[in-house]
Structures are given as C-alpha cells and as structure tokens.
Amino acid sequence: MKDTSQYAGRRYVVAGLVILIALIYIVRLLTIQVLDKSYRLSASNNVLRHITQYPARGLIYDRNHTLIVSNEAAYDLMVIPSQVESFDTAEFSALLEVPEKDIREGLRKATVYSRLKASILVKQIPAVTYARLSEKMYKYPGFYVQPRTLRYYNRHLAAHMLGYVGEVTEKTIQKDPYYKMGDYIGISGIERSYEKELRGRKGVKIYLVDVHNRIKGSYRHGRYDTAAVVGANLTASFDAGLQAYGEYLMNNKVGSIVALEPATGEVLCMVSSPGYDPELLVGRNRRTYFPALVQDTLKPLFNRAIMASYPPGSTFKVVNALIGLQEKVLYPSYKYECHAGYYAAGVHVGCHIHRSPLNLVEAIQISCNAYFCNVFRNILDDPKFPTIYQSFENWKHHLEMFGFGHPLGIDLPNELSGYLPDTSYYDRYYHKNGWSSLTLISMAIGQGELGFTPLQMANLAATVANRGYYLTPHVVKEIEGRDSINRRFREEHLVGIDRKYFDIAVEGMDRVVNGEPGSGSTARIAHIPDIRVCGKTGTAQNPHGKDHSIFMAFAPKDTPRIAISVYVENGGFGATYAAPIASLMIEKYLKGKITRTWLEDYIRKTDLIHGEKQK
Amino acid sequence: MERSRNNILGRIDWLTVLMYLLLVTFGLINIYSSAYNEAHPRLFDFSMRYGKQFYWILLTLVIATVILALHPRFYYFFAWPLYLLSLLLLVMVLVIGATIHGSTSWISVAGVHIQPSEFAKVATALVLARYLSEYNVTLEHFRDLVKASLIIIAPAALIMLQPDMGSAFVFIAFILVLYREGLRAEVLLIGFLFIVLFIITLIVDKTIVLGILLGLALLIHLLVEKKPLLTVKGAVILVATGGILWLGMTLLHKGISLYTVIFLSLLAGTVILLPFIYRLKLVRTAILYGVLILAMLFTFSVNYVFNNILEPHQRTRINIVLGIESDPYGSGYNVNQSKIAIGSGGFTGKGFLRGTQTKFNFVPEQSTDFIFCTVGEEWGFLGTFGVIAFYILFLMRILYLAERQRSAFSRVYGYSVFSLFSFHVLVNIGMTIGLFPVIGIPLPFFSYGGSSLWAFTILLFIFIRLDADRLEMTF
C-alpha cells in the first residue's frame, strides 16, 4: 500500500473549511432569526402585500399624430382569501353595488384558485364607487383596491386594425410567466402584434399591512420594489380622416377597403365592413356586446381585409399581361379578335360587345376576355417548357413573387394566404395529364380557383404603382424609443418583371379611367378632374349570390402616393360601387375634400345589406 | 473494542447509524409539518408526501441491511461495473427519460421514478476509491491526476446534458478527496482564485478587471524578481504596443475597445518578450505571464459562459446572490420567501405544525429543496443551530472514520462520503438563507424524495460496511 500519510494533516484543513462555512451560516441565521426583527414583522401576521404596479399601456396615434387610443382609470377590487375575516356581505354588496351572490361566488372561486395569492373579486369599479369604498376599506381585511387602466378611444374607428385588450387566458399564463391571473393582454390587431411594446413592464411594491388592513409602510424600505415601466407609444400608419371616410362610405355594405402608400408599404386605411365601435369591447362592455358581435351573421369581428379570400376577377388580367410580357409570349402589338367571347374546342368564354381586334393596352382598357384567354394560353402553352406542368409552375412562381398564395407578413395577427391552386389539385380533379390550358381558362380572367385577400390586391396596386416592387404592408410606422420598425418592412421585394412592362400595364390602367368617352373605358366613373388615377375593374363570380364588385387603383399616375383595393360583396360590376368608392377615397386622401358630392351621395345612400337601394 | 469475525453486528459503528436514524426521523417530522393537511393527519397516508417518505424510509432499512450483508470485496470488485452501469443509465436517461421541470433526469421503471444522477455519485465514489488505491497511482503524477479527474467529470458532464446543473455541480465536492490524496495545494488555490475572478468579472466591468490583472502581474513581477528596470521595460513595451495598436486602429477608423487593445498588445508583447525570456531563462516571469494570459482568457470566457451557456434562470439566480439584480416576484421569490420563513421563526420558533409561511405554497419546493425553511420557522434559531451543529458532528464522525481506515480504498471512499455530504448540506442550507445561488440540490436525509434518500443511504452504509471490516481489509 502506498503511503499518503504526509497528507494526513490535510484533514484539519478540510474539517476547518466545513466548520468555517457552518459558522458563517450560524452567524447569518442568528442575524435573520434573532437580531433582525423585520423578517419576523413581515411574516408573523402574514401581511406582506405585493401590489402590482400596472404601467399605463402605450398610446396609439395615427400618421398625422392624432391621438386615437389612450387610457382611463378603473379600479379592481382584490381579495386574498386567507386574510379575509367574517364580514357583512349584505353591507359590502350594497357598497359595491354588486349582487350579494356574485360576491359569495367570487370569493369561493378566489379561494379555489389560491388562498394566499390575490384574485380579482370585482372588476373595473367606477371612480365614484371607489371613492365611497375606500373610506370603508378598514372594515374588510383581506380586500384592497388595485388601480388599473382601460383603453379609451378618442376616435371610434379602425376597430379591426387596432384590435382589443382583454384578460390573459390560463394557457397564456402557463406559456409566459410574465402574465399573472387578471393581467391584460392584447388579443387582436395592433394590440396583439405589438403587445410587448405596448404593455411596458409591470412593477411591484411590497407593503407591510397591519391586522386592520392598513398599510404600515413599505417593506424593507422598498429594497425589493421594482418600478413599472410605461408602455411605448406607437404611431400607426393609417390616416384617421381617410379611415373614417372609408368606414362612412362602406356603411350598409359588406366588403373591404385597403389603401397603401406604395413607396413605404404603410397602410393608409383598412376598412372591413361591417365593423364595430372599438369601445364595445372595452372592460365591462365586452361581456354585453361580445356575444352579439360573435353571433351576427355578417361577422363584424371578421377582418375581411386580411382574412377574406375572393377571386380577383378582371383585375387579374393586369397580372397575366405582365407575366406574358416578361415571358415573351405576349407583345404590346399583339392583336386578338373578339366576337363577343372566346371560342376554342368547345370552350366558350363570353365577353361584352366591343370593337375588334384590340392590342394589349386597349384590351386592358376595355377588359376584353377573349384577349386574355389568348394571353393565358400563350403562357401555359409556352414552347419553352416541355409540358404544362412546368409552364404552370413557372406561372405560379410569378404569382408568388407578387405576394399571392401566402401571407404578405403584415404586422397584424391572423393574416390569411388566399389561395393558389397547384398542379396536384388538377391531377386530383381531372387526372394526371388530363388537363390543359383550356381546362384552366377561367383563370385567364381571374375567376375559378384563385383567391386573393383585399390586402394582397392593394399590394398588387402598389406593386404596379412602383413599377415592379412592393414593401411589406404594415400598420405601425413608429415605435417610441426605437430607431426603426422591423427591418423587414424596409426591404423592397422585386416581383421579377421588368419596369418597361409595367409601363405598358400602367398605360392600360390609365385608359381604364381616363380614356376618351365612348372609347370603351370600363371605369370612367373613377375619373377625377385633376388627378391621374390608374385602375382596373373586376367582377368576381360568386356562386352564392350576386357578383362581388372589385376595383384596384393607384394615383397619381407618375408620382403614386396611394394604392387602393376596394371589394364590395354582392355589388355587381367593378364599376358599379368599387370604382366610385376607390375614386372618392383617392380624392379624399390627395385633396382632403370631396368635389363630387353627387357621387358621394350615391354611394352613401346605397344599402346592399338590407336588400333595397334607397336612391 | 471487542471484535468477532463472525458477528458483523458487533463491528458496526452504531454511533453513525444512530446519527443517521436521528437525521432521517427529524427530516420526516419536518416533511410532515410542511405538507401537513388537516384532512389527512395520519403519518402513514400514502397519498401524502409524508406517507410516501415514511414508506421510503422503511425501505431504506431493507437496503441498509442488504448493504451490510454484502462483503466489502463486493464493492471493490464491482466498482467499475457499477460505474459503467451508472454512465449507461445517464446516457439512457437522455434518450428515454421523463422531463420534469425542464430537465430530463428521471427514468420510469414499473411506475417508479428513478433519478440515475443520484446513484452516479455512489458509483463515482467507489471507482475513485478503487483507482486512487491502486499501487502505482499518485496524484503527484500529472497523468494520474488527469485520469482521476476524468472519472469525476464523465458523469458530471452527462448530468449537465440533462440539464441538471445542480446535480452536476455536486461532483465539484470530489476536489476535497483529491486534495486529501495529494493534489497540490496550489491547484486548489488557483482554482479558488479563478472562482473569485469569476465573481469579480460578473460584478465589475471586464476592462477594469483586465487593468487590475495587468497591474497585479507587474507588481508581483517586481516583488518576485526584484529587478525594477526589467519590470519597467516590460511595462513600456506593453504600453507602446498597445498605443501603436490603438493609434493604428483609430487612424483606420475602426472602432476598437480598450479591452481589445490591452489584450492584443499583451499577445503582441508575448512575441517580443519570448526571446528574452528564453535567453535569460526567466522561468518565473514565464509562469507569471502564462497565468496572466490564462486569467485574461478566463475573464473573456466568463462572459461567454454566463451569457451563452447558462440558462436565463441560472443567470438570474447568480445575479441575485451577487446583488446585481433584485426580483422578489421571480427567481428571487423563493429565496426571499425562504428568508422570511426562516427569519420569522425567531429564537425558539413557532412550534411544530405552527409555521404559517411554509404552509401551503408560500415557499416553493418547500418539502424538497427548501425543507430547511420549515426547520427555521417552526424550531427557530435553536432548531437551525441544532441541525447545523448535528450535521457538523455527523460529518466530523465520518471524517474521523475515514482517517482511521487502514486501506486506501476505504479511506478514499470515506472521504468521498464526507465531501458529498458536506457539499449537499452546506450548499442546500446556503441557498435557503440567500448565501448561495439556488441550484436545487437536496438536504441529505431531510428533503422529500425517494431517489436521493436511497442514494444517500447507500452511500453511507457502504462506508459503514467498509469500516466494520477495516482491520481485515487487504485492498
């Protein structure tokens, strides 16, 4: 056996080390258990009260710095069941103006949740009741009042975009330990997507409370207190005036208006109709109105602008024209005949009566179906590709570059992707190699399987306005205390089509609105005397009822400041309602006032919901 | 002392066994109090934590009997197989383990949850004893030291992967064993210095740390070499290279931090100084220089480890102990509540079952890692003092037993037992009174939990068994 006896003395070092640490502990214990009275004081009556310091939620302004959303005070009555002594529930209920059984029931629930943690017993007590209550609080140990803030809407608009605030759910609490029972959280819209910025940070103040429920001072001189940090203010990108006007025009109609600033991708307005007054979902109101809004058959809570999916109708001709030009299967000089429609191999696509043949610009101006059936077949039967599978994929790739078929990534929750079919869809529907460009011909004019959201349509208008690129649409342009919003909103997305082709499409869209009278322009009604509006009408076939009226546009032609899409469900032709609404919105935004009051009256008096037109 | 080769009962150190039983009993009393529920007052109620703990304690008696019945040779020969088995279990737990509280450290066998990391401690102690007792092995040889370290690090690393940092840190305790078996004191000292450096780096800006280190190195150099001219020369070279570097970078409009300047100039200085050191045979200067560079690399890695390897809750816990952060609702909540509970006990305590703070869930993890709160609240300073004093007696008894062994195997094993218990006791109590970060390790024999209770029992009783045969041990 080897000898390590020269190290045997180290036992004293080792033992000394352990004993030394133990001595330090004993001194520490002597301090906190015997010498320092504050621990005993704070615990003996079990009277540490943690009062959460709720920060005010960030304010929301519109792009012109008009205050839209602010806060107002409300008071929550809190209870810590383990501290409650027997009290007169009848008197208490009279004081609070809350039924006695609600108090008993609330107390029972709070006890089930936790005997030691505070629960909310009565929410959002008005200031008057609070004043009366605070005088009598000494009678009710275990209860205290917690100041809170509720949303206050200075302008009653843009409910879908702004979203609403509500209490956190059990699930959220489990996922994110920041939230505690009874906290508020953004549930939809900007309130949700910018929750982290708006909420600020909660603080906590710890008080010592005596047996009579009176605060005796701060615990250990506030050493463990943390200050609340107020939420950051946001500047939204929308224009309150334009938003209000859009909601005004869409009154009694179902549909959506989305307007973008092409150069930045900022959302200038986003109307989803029917909407609701955001105040209906604040605090106690919500319990009353939320169920009604949910049950409404017109789905006012549904944000059509980013969630509804409609066929694009004839507006899609612009896209097919651009793809055809880029793929060099279409040249502006190409002329196609139209004899009230397109006929080929037993397939017939109708068209209105107009002069024939037309070139590309004229075909856009007049919205000739036959012309674009030819364009679409040129694209799908392009000899560059061995089979239709490749040419279809190529076409679909172009559409994806435009932002169709997937969410654009707007800073709002629940944006949907619309719909783009793929080859397997047709393989299932027909059979492998059992379909051709003729089978898909309805997509030439934007009908059939395609589905775009109004936001995607507005983004198309912005892309054309920019002649070839778009910036991801977003509803918040500034966050207080931050240099910039997310960088992804500053990237230009090129759609992969040359600028010169866009110039041709723009020429066509110009003529749609500004063509000579009698030349066949489809939306002369959108003409504004001194603003060069470029647009394209669309009519989406609707299997469930009357067609949807669609219009996409931008203006002014050479220095675009607004791109817009308008959908009016069951509105018929694009030129009937969508085009005038878009035109009025553009005039309102660019000029600030409406000169064509007759047009405004016509739209305003139209009621498409209650089944009758009151002209 | 009377000894009979045939009667093992006569050779057992009954004093230690008695101490063990007292600890377990007092532990159970406290678990009973902390989990007490008026509806289930019976100690044997299996639906309550104390009921389960009670049955587990009964089971430990069986385990202890089996351990005592086996011959010491068994532990000697099966040290390696047991060690390899526990490594295998640690690997298995990563693959098939159950995840509780964010770490995968449990294996479920037939409805029973086992925590292999608890048993890995025992196996590591056995193998370490076996390896260090080999004839040719001495910690004075660097190679043997590395091998011994690997034996300790292997299970610790696997446990870190779970990740269960608390259980992994426990293996640090084996340093005491190595120290007793001849590890150079300088290694311990340097290790200690690095811990101090770690803490300072977290509190103070690292540029300042670097500056202090540099100044300190020059000062030590001056004191050791007693050649002021040489020290001044060295300092001038460093300042000059640093100055040139800074000037160059500034002229190139490249932003450069003071920290990088100091560090790079030190590296550049190395290149210049190396020939001198070699020619003049400045061995001490070279060592000093090496340690300085290591220390600097270390400050760098501290920030990296702290910010990238540690989990956020671990960072917060360290920050709270260092006083950088206070968060009475979050991670600081446990410790704050634990301190209130202990502090409220006063001198004599509130009495059995009378604790208010530790009832319900005021102190989280209260019957497991924070069981000492119950002692503090219900038994007061008398209780905490008594428990700590009793633990110290218990530990000193083990130390005494370890030193009286004739075989190196038994002695090393005894030291492992002592070190592991010391670490658990000191760290656990330290965290309940806010002197140590909360790393979640149990208080031996007190904390609720079958795995840890059994592992501690096995650990102790193997040693009692070895001690009983200490006169006959030939290995």
Same-domain check for residues B142 and B267: no
Same-domain check for residues B143 and B278: no
Structure letter (DSSP) for residue A52: E
B1 occurs within a structural domain: no
DSSP state letters, B260-329: HHHHHHHHHHHHHHHHHHHHHT-HHHHHHHHHHHHHHHHHHHHHHIIIIIS-HHHHHHHHHHTTS---TT
> Pick from A208, A233, A258: which residue ends a domain?
A233
State the amino acid at position A305 in one-letter form. Answer: A
User: Per the CB < 8 Å rule, is A4 touching B408?
Assistant: yes
Same-domain check for residues B47 and B135: yes
Same-domain check for residues A162 and A285: no
Same-domain check for residues B138 and B223: no
A577 occurs within a structural domain: yes
Helix or strand or coil: residue A419?
Answer: strand
* Nearest-CA distance B422 → chain A (Å): 7
Least confident of A82-96, A110-124, A484-498, B454-468: A110-124
User: Per the CB < 8 Å rule, is A14 touching B135?
Assistant: no
Interface test with A, best of B422, B432, B470 (most A CBs within 10 A): B422
Least confident of A166-175, A286-295, B280-289, B431-440: B280-289
Query: A403 lies in which domain range?
Result: 240-604
User: Per the CB < 8 Å rule, is B408 touching A2?
Assistant: yes
H/E element holding A15?
helix A10-30
CB atoms within 10 A of CB B60: 22
CATH code of the domain covering residue A341: 3.40.710.10
* Nearest-CA distance B313 → chain A (Å): 12
Average pLDDT over residues A482-509: 91
A13 occurs within a structural domain: no
User: Per the CB < 8 Å rule, is B357 touching A224?
Assistant: no
> Backbone phi, then psi, for A384, in 5-degree steps?
-55, -30
Same-domain check for residues B289 and B335: no
Position A591 pLDDT exceeds 80 = yes
CB atoms within 10 A of CB B111: 5
Position A120 pLDDT exceeds 80 = yes
Specify the residue for token string 């068209």: A351
User: Per the CB < 8 Å rule, is A33 touching B396?
Assistant: no
Percent of chain A residues past pLDDT 90, beyond the cut = 54
User: Structural domain tally of chain A?
Assistant: 2
Least confident of A231-240, A560-569, B165-174, B286-295: B286-295
User: Per the CB < 8 Å rule, is A43 touching B343?
Assistant: yes
Instruction: Kindly give the pairing relationship between strand A143-153 and strand A67-79.
Output: antiparallel
DSSP state letters, A529-572: TTB--EEEEEEE--TTSSPEEEEEEEESSSS--EEEEEEETT--
B327 occurs within a structural domain: yes
d(CA A556, CA A563): 9
Whole-complex ipTM: 0.80
Same-domain check for residues B214 and B355: no
Same-domain check for residues A196 and A295: no
B2 occurs within a structural domain: no
d(CA A234, CA A186): 14
Position A613 pLDDT exceeds 50 = no
Same-domain check for residues B231 and B364: no
A245 pLDDT band, cuts 50/70/90, is very high
Instruction: Kindly give the pairing relationship between strand A234-236 and strand A476-479.
Output: antiparallel
A609 occurs within a structural domain: no
Same-domain check for residues A299 and A427: yes
Least confident of A348-362, A546-560, B30-44: B30-44
> Pick from B310, B341, B373: which residue ends a domain?
B310
Same-domain check for residues A279 and A167: no
Same-domain check for residues B128 and B57: yes
Query: B220 lies in which domain range?
Result: 204-310
User: Is A33's Cβ below 8 Å from some Cβ in B?
Assistant: yes
> Pick from A168, A199, A233: which residue ends a domain?
A233
Same-domain check for residues B130 and B40: yes
- Please report the number of interchain residue pairs, chain A to chain B, with beta-carbon separation below 8 angstroms: 120
Same-domain check for residues A214 and A263: no
A528 occurs within a structural domain: yes
Same-domain check for residues B83 and B214: no
Least confident of A141-145, A376-380, A525-529: A141-145
User: Per the CB < 8 Å rule, is A29 touching B384?
Assistant: yes
Least confident of A563-567, A597-601, B264-268: B264-268
CA angle (B312 as vertex; B311, B313 as ends), nearest 5: 90
pLDDT at B188: 76
Same-domain check for residues A198 and A300: no
User: Per the CB < 8 Å rule, is A4 touching B341?
Assistant: no
C-alpha dihedral over B174, B178, B179, B183, to 10 degrees?
-140
pLDDT at A390: 93
CB atoms within 10 A of CB A476: 23
Task: Mark out the alpha helices in B181-257 (DSSP H runs).
Answer: 185-203, 206-225, 228-251
User: Per the CB < 8 Å rule, is B339 touching A32?
Assistant: yes
Same-domain check for residues A460 and A438: yes
Same-domain check for residues A442 and A542: yes
Same-domain check for residues B87 and B167: yes
> Highest mean pLDDT: which of A114-123, A161-170, A210-219, B229-238?
A161-170
> What are the tens digits of pLDDT across the range B168-184?
889 989 999 999 988 88
Which residue in A148, A140, A97, A100 sits closest to A120, CA to CA? A148
Structure letter (DSSP) for residue A279: G
d(CA A234, CA B112): 54
Q: What are the CA-CA distances from residue B464 to residues A450, B121, B403 (Å)?
A: 81, 17, 13
Bridge-partner residues for A71, per DSSP? A151
Same-domain check for residues A220 and A102: yes
* Nearest-CA distance A224 → chain B (Å): 6
CATH code of the domain covering residue A167: 3.90.1310.10
A16 occurs within a structural domain: no
pLDDT at B220: 76
Report chain B residues whose CB lies below 8 A from the CB of A116: 360-362
* Nearest-CA distance B247 → chain A (Å): 32
User: Per the CB < 8 Å rule, is A21 touching B418?
Assistant: no
d(CA B347, CA A120): 37
B474 occurs within a structural domain: no
> Pick from A233, A258, A293: which residue ends a domain?
A233
Same-domain check for residues A338 and A406: yes
Nearest CA in chain B to A9: B180
The predicted model scores a pTM of: 0.57
Percent of chain A residues past pLDDT 70, beyond the cut = 94
Mean pLDDT value across chain A: 88
> Pick from B289, B310, B331: which residue ends a domain?
B310
The burial class, CB within 10 Å (0-12 / 13-18 / 19+), for A545 is exposed
SS3 content of chain A, % helix, strand, coil (to 5): 40, 20, 40
User: Per the CB < 8 Å rule, is B182 touching A46?
Assistant: no
Average pLDDT over residues A114-119: 73
Same-domain check for residues B323 and B288: no
Least confident of A17-31, A69-83, A391-405: A69-83
B210 occurs within a structural domain: yes
Helix or strand or coil: residue A412?
Answer: coil
> Pick from B310, B334, B362: which residue ends a domain?
B310
User: Structural domain tally of chain B?
Assistant: 2
B3 occurs within a structural domain: no
pLDDT at A1: 44
Same-domain check for residues A433 and A501: yes
B301 occurs within a structural domain: yes
pLDDT at A45: 46
B297 occurs within a structural domain: yes
H/E element holding A167?
strand A165-167
Specify the residue for token string 């080929």: A344
* Nearest-CA distance A255 → chain B (Å): 47
User: Per the CB < 8 Å rule, is A116 touching B360?
Assistant: yes
A610 occurs within a structural domain: no
Interface test with B, best of A7, A25, A219 (most B CBs within 10 A): A25
Ramachandran assignment for B281, one of left (phi > 0), alpha (psi -120 to 50 degrees), beta (any other): left
Report chain B residues whose CB lies below 8 A from the CB of A38: 343
Position A109 pLDDT exceeds 80 = yes
CB B94 within 8 A of CB B162: yes
A27 occurs within a structural domain: no
Nearest CA in chain B to A13: B180
Ramachandran assignment for A175, one of left (phi > 0), alpha (psi -120 to 50 degrees), beta (any other): alpha
Could you give the strand order of the β-sheet that contains A203-209, starting from the edge strand earlier in sequence? A48-53, A203-209, A215-218
pLDDT at A612: 44
* Nearest-CA distance A24 → chain B (Å): 10
Position A459 pLDDT exceeds 70 = yes
Ramachandran assignment for A252, one of left (phi > 0), alpha (psi -120 to 50 degrees), beta (any other): left
Same-domain check for residues A359 and A435: yes
- Each of the 475 residues of chain B gets a pLDDT tens digit; together they read 444 455 778 889 999 999 999 999 999 888 888 776 656 667 667 677 778 888 889 999 999 999 999 999 999 999 999 999 999 999 988 887 766 655 666 777 656 677 888 889 999 999 999 999 888 888 888 889 899 999 999 999 998 888 787 888 899 899 999 999 888 877 777 777 777 777 777 667 767 777 777 777 777 777 777 778 877 877 787 778 777 877 777 777 666 677 777 777 777 777 777 777 777 766 777 777 777 777 777 777 776 776 666 766 666 666 666 555 544 444 556 677 778 788 888 888 877 776 655 544 445 566 678 889 888 888 989 999 999 999 999 999 999 999 999 899 999 999 999 999 999 999 999 988 888 887 778 999 988 888 889 999 999 999 999 999 888 877 6
User: Is A12's Cβ below 8 Å from some Cβ in B?
Assistant: no
Interface test with A, best of B181, B192, B348, B384 (most A CBs within 10 A): B384
Specify the residue for token string 């290149």: B271
Please, what is the angle between helix B49-69 and helix B14-34, to 10°? 160
